Structure 1
Amino acid sequence: MIRKLTAIALLTPIIHLNAVADTTSYGIWSDAKNTLSETWSASNYELYVPINTWHNRHYYSQEKIDGYNEQPWGLGIGKYRYDEDGDWHGIYAMAFTDSHSKVQPVAGYAFQKMWRPSNNVRLGAGYTLGVTLREDFNYMPLPVIAPLASIEYKQLALQSTYIFGGKGNGNILFTWIKWQVN
């Protein structure tokens, strides 16, 4: 079941309803393929530097929080493009130290609807779909489906996602710096 969900998370990004003219499954698959292909073919690259992992204090005891790593060392790379509406699409891979100071890789697709309050400032909100591997799950592939938000100035952005969970798991705000190389 996990492998099927992982495959779905990697291969089928959520389709933007305003961009889908044909609601048949062929139209959705075609749109997903085209979106991923166009993003993969883009010549624009960006680098990611994780800067913070914040565990929501409402869901964790102080003892647990004191034992967690909230300074994730890591690095990532991605390809990106802006579509005809000015919205951002990205394909990425990143590795960082998780809450237990173990290496956690993640790779996937991301989309953000962009708003431009000025020429150099952009605000984004969207989602990411991908797969991650964690030591505490014996590095078995796990699907990632999470919201995504950013504040951007020229080529530099502060981007975050929130990993939902329950009492004592998940509920983590993960933040990184994104630099658009070209």
Structure 2
Amino acid sequence: MIKKIAVTILLIISPHFHAFADTASDGLWADVKNTLSETWNSSDYELYVPVNTWHNRAFYDKEKIDGYNEHPWGIGIGKYRYDADGDWHGVYAMVFADSHKEMEPVAGYAFQKMWHANNDFRLGAGYTIGATLREDYHYLPIPVIAPIASIEYKQLAVQSTYIVGGQGNGNILFTWLKWQIK
């Protein structure tokens, strides 16, 4: 059942949706496994340093904002690759201080369609899918599906995701630096 749910989610968000729309789920599942395997087997690493957590002021009152941590100090590491189209794929693990100053680990896969202004400067937009563990949920796994975007210069990038939520929860812009180790 979990495999079918994961395949369905990946089918919806896959950057290659058009190529798989008419194929059986085994074909899609094989492509997902190949993409993850190629990325995992890459010899290129990245270092992640969380730098900011911004709580959208339209969804929180001042008292809540004043009590939240917006400095998510932590660290992460990942493996990455650029595919034949120049798009970025990454598998990662990161730990940081959440809004309540509790340690929050997150791990997953990310994809970004990249626009290359030149060999050094790139813009990216895509998604991440993974899982996180939070103290306020008794460190039970929580699925993560979120958009990501980046501005990159050579090996350094500023990358962000926006965690959608409701009034008084979520609606957080999470930003980190990404350094590609060569």
Q: TM-score range by the shorter chain?
A: over 0.9
Aligned to 2:6: 8
**CA offsets 1:59-110 (integer angstroms, 9 cap, x no match):** 0000000000000110000000000000000000000000000000000000
Aligned to 1:74: 74
Q: Distance in 2 between matches of 1:72 and 1:63?
A: 19
Matches within 5 A, 1:130-169: 130-169=130-169
User: How many residue pairs align between the two structures?
Assistant: 178
SS at match of 1:92: strand
Give the number of the structure with larger relative contact order, counting CA–CA contacts within 8 Å between residues 6 or more apart: 1
Q: Deviation above 4 Å: which 4+ runs of structure 1? A: none
Aligned to 2:35: 35
Q: Distance in 1 between matches of 2:22 and 2:153?
A: 36
SS at match of 2:111: strand
Matches within 5 A, 1:1-182: 4=2, 8=6, 14-15=13-14, 16-20=16-20, 23-182=23-182
Structure 1, unaligned runs of 5 or more: none
SS at match of 2:108: strand
Compute the TM-score of the two structures, normalised by the length of structure 2.
0.92
**CA offsets 1:87-134 (integer angstroms, 9 cap, x no match):** 000000000000000000000000000001122100000000000000
**Structure 1 pair 156/19, CA: closer, same or farther in 2 (3 Å)?**
farther
Structure 2, unaligned runs of 5 or more: none
SS at match of 1:72: coil
Q: Distance in 1 between matches of 2:126 and 2:49?
A: 20
SS at match of 2:58: coil
User: Which letter does structure 1 place at the counterpart of 2:6?
Assistant: I
Compute the TM-score of the two structures, normalised by the length of structure 1.
0.92
Identity of aligned residues (%): 70
Q: Distance in 2 between matches of 1:107 and 1:56?
A: 24
User: Which letter does structure 1 place at the counterpart of 2:123?
Assistant: L
User: Which letter does structure 1 place at the counterpart of 2:157?
Assistant: A
Q: Give the Å deviation of 1:20.
A: 3.4
